[in-house]
């Protein structure tokens, strides 16, 4: 056991508490404190990985990955990262079907958040690739869970369950065949929100991976860039790449020091950045898979740009039927004079069986908002109410602003999920600040 300072990626929530490792899981968990929470690398933005009232449990030493090339599966310790899995799997000509925008997410965290990625319109969320889970309950029991059969309810309550059903120890995942570590990439500019959406629809028909950067500054026209990527065959690789075809490489080229003032990200710097980003040369041709799937990982601790007061990342989902909300958001951001350093728009595919799942057919938009003030808060409250009216959702892994009433309107399977949690965790030991805020524990 050691005492750690644990913080969300948005840098707005911080605690100092005891943390137990897997070598100490033989102890009576409930004797340590009134509540516990499993944690990974702290890449959730708000307070979903914060437990101010209790202790933490880490599986950081459970990093073993075993690849079965015949079955195209990987058995992963929950402490291994997405990047670890990518680098090992590619040596066998395999790759995970779903990866997030950063490789610095543990397998346990990816399951607890049921992450989605640039391939969601085809591959769905992370839970779709999970074949089996091993979970340690607060009573000290080890459960083996599968997506179908007698344990399916507890499986889908744990997938997307934000760590509130138990400690994920291990998972077996499906992988897909790839020839190498490169993608054929296309990028196009769009000059307004209609063009941006139309391009994304077109790219979704052509590419496995799609995403759009949207300019949330200036005149708020919704201009941006759409990127699409497909895996390439070895025959398509230029000669200079062939001796590195099964190497993904390591991240980090630039490290951000912790010296920036909290007002460094402001309307002026955001407008300048977005102008440069829009005009920079288009990324077309063959590129390394990591630079496409995890672009921000080339900058270590980029969250420090927001200063010590931190920031909020707010990601929401809205159906195609109600996509007019995207134009409303642009209009409201202009009205509130609110800019976002990096806006991301993505078209989502089908939902899955997870009780607290976020992704569903429609659009998802991600907004970065510097340290909260009354103006920002008023905007977020207004947007949240519109989402409630239009059956939209806020992504829990990034949430730090929802109240329980709003959450109940967005996540209609909450009561079913709570019943399963009660069966798995009858003493309500697994808790987080977010879980208490939203009435999940």
Least confident of 129-133, 209-213, 254-258: 254-258
Q: What is the pLDDT of residue 239?
A: 82
- Pairwise CA distance, residues 94 & 168, whole Å: 24
Counting residues of the chain whose pLDDT is more than 70, the rounded percentage is 98
Please give the pLDDT value at position 125.
98
Task: Work out the percent of the chain whose per-residue pLDDT is above 90.
Answer: 82
Residue 31 has pLDDT above 80, yes or no: no
List Cβ neighbours of 381 (8 Å cut-off, separation of 6 or more): 401
Read off the pLDDT of residues 167-180 as tens digits, 9 standing for 90 and up: 999 999 999 999 99
Q: What are phi and psi of 163, to 5 degrees?
A: 75, 10
pLDDT value at residue 26? 66
> How confident is the model over 160-169, as a mean pLDDT?
98
pLDDT (average), residues 425-441: 97
∠ at Cα 341 (258, 207), nearest 5°?
115
pLDDT at 243: 72
**Cα dihedral across residues 290, 294, 300, 305: positive or negative:** positive
DSSP 3-state of 362: strand
CA nearest neighbour of 326 among 209, 221, 409: 221
Q: CA–CA separation, 99 vs 392, rounded Å?
A: 23
Report the number of secondary-structure helices (H) and strands (E) in the chain.
Answer: 12, 21
- Tokens 């949207």 belong to 214
pLDDT above 70 (res 164): yes
- Give the single-character DSSP code of 74: E
Provide the CA 118 distance to its chain's centre, in angstroms: 11
- Residues in contact with 286: Cβ distance below 8 Å, sequence separation at least 6, in sequence order: 182, 183, 184, 185, 232, 236, 237, 238, 241
Question: What is each CA distance from 177 to 37, 289, 387, in whole angstroms?
Answer: 35, 14, 38
Q: Which residue has the higher pLDDT, 25 or 432?
A: 432
**pLDDT tens profile 352-367:** 999 999 999 999 999 9
Mean pLDDT of the chain: 94
At residue 368 the predicted structure's pLDDT band, cuts being 50, 70 and 90, is: very high
Give the confidence band of 245 by pLDDT, cuts at 50, 70, 90. Answer: confident
Task: Check pLDDT > 90 for residue 324.
Answer: yes
pLDDT at residue 32 in the model? 66
Q: Is the pLDDT of residue 23 over 80?
A: no
Chain segment 60-75, per-residue pLDDT in tens: 889 999 999 999 999 9
pLDDT digits (tens, 9 = 90+) for 110-148: 999 999 999 999 999 999 999 999 999 999 999 999 999
Task: Find the range with the poorest average confidence among 41-45, 237-241, 254-258, 403-407.
Answer: 237-241
């Amino acid at each position: 056991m050691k005492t750690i300072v644990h913080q969300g990626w948005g840098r707005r929530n911080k605690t100092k508490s005891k943390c137990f490792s897997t070598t100490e899981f033989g102890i009576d968990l409930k004797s340590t404190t009134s509540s516990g929470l499993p944690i990974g690398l702290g890449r959730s933005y708000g307070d979903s990985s914060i437990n101010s009232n209790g202790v933490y449990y880490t599986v950081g030493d459970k990093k073993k990955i075993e690849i079965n090339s015949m079955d195209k599966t990987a058995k992963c310790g929950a402490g291994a990262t997405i990047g670890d899995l990518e680098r090992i799997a590619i040596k066998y000509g395999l790759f995970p079907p779903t990866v997030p925008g950063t490789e610095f997410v543990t397998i346990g965290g990816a399951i607890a958040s049921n992450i989605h990625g640039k391939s969601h319109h085809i591959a769905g969320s992370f839970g779709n690739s999970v074949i089996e889970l091993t979970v340690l309950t607060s009573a000290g029991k080890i459960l083996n869970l599968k997506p179908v059969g007698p344990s399916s309810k507890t499986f889908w309550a744990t997938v997307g369950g934000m760590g509130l059903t138990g400690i994920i120890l291990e998972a077996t995942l499906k992988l897909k065949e790839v020839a190498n570590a490169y993608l054929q990439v296309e990028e196009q500019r769009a000059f307004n929100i209609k063009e941006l959406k139309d391009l994304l629809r077109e790219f979704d028909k052509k590419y496995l991976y799609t995403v759009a950067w949207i300019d949330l500054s200036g005149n708020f026209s919704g201009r941006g860039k759409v990127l699409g990527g497909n895996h390439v065959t070895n025959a398509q690789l230029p000669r200079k790449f062939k001796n590195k075809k099964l190497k993904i490489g390591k991240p980090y080229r630039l490290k951000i020091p912790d010296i920036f003032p909290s007002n460094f990200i402001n309307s002026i710097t955001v407008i300048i950045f977005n102008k440069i980003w829009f005009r920079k040369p288009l990324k077309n041709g063959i590129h390394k898979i990591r630079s496409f799937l995890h672009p921000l990982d080339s900058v270590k601790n980029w969250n420090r740009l927001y200063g010590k007061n931190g920031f909020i990342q707010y990601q929401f989902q809205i159906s195609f039927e109600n996509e007019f909300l995207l134009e409303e958001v642009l209009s409201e951001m202009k009205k509130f004079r609110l800019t976002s350093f990096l806006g991301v728009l993505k078209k989502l595919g089908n939902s899955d069986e997870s009780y607290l799942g976020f992704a569903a057919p429609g659009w998802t938009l991600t907004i970065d908002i510097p340290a909260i003030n009354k103006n920002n808060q008023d905007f977020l409250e207004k947007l949240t109410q519109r989402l409630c009216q239009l059956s939209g959702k806020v992504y829990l892994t990034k949430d730090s602003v929802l109240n329980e009433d709003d959450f109940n309107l967005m996540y209609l399977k909450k009561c079913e999920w709570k019943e399963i949690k009660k069966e798995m965790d009858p003493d309500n030991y697994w808790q987080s600040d977010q879980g208490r805020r939203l009435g999940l524990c």
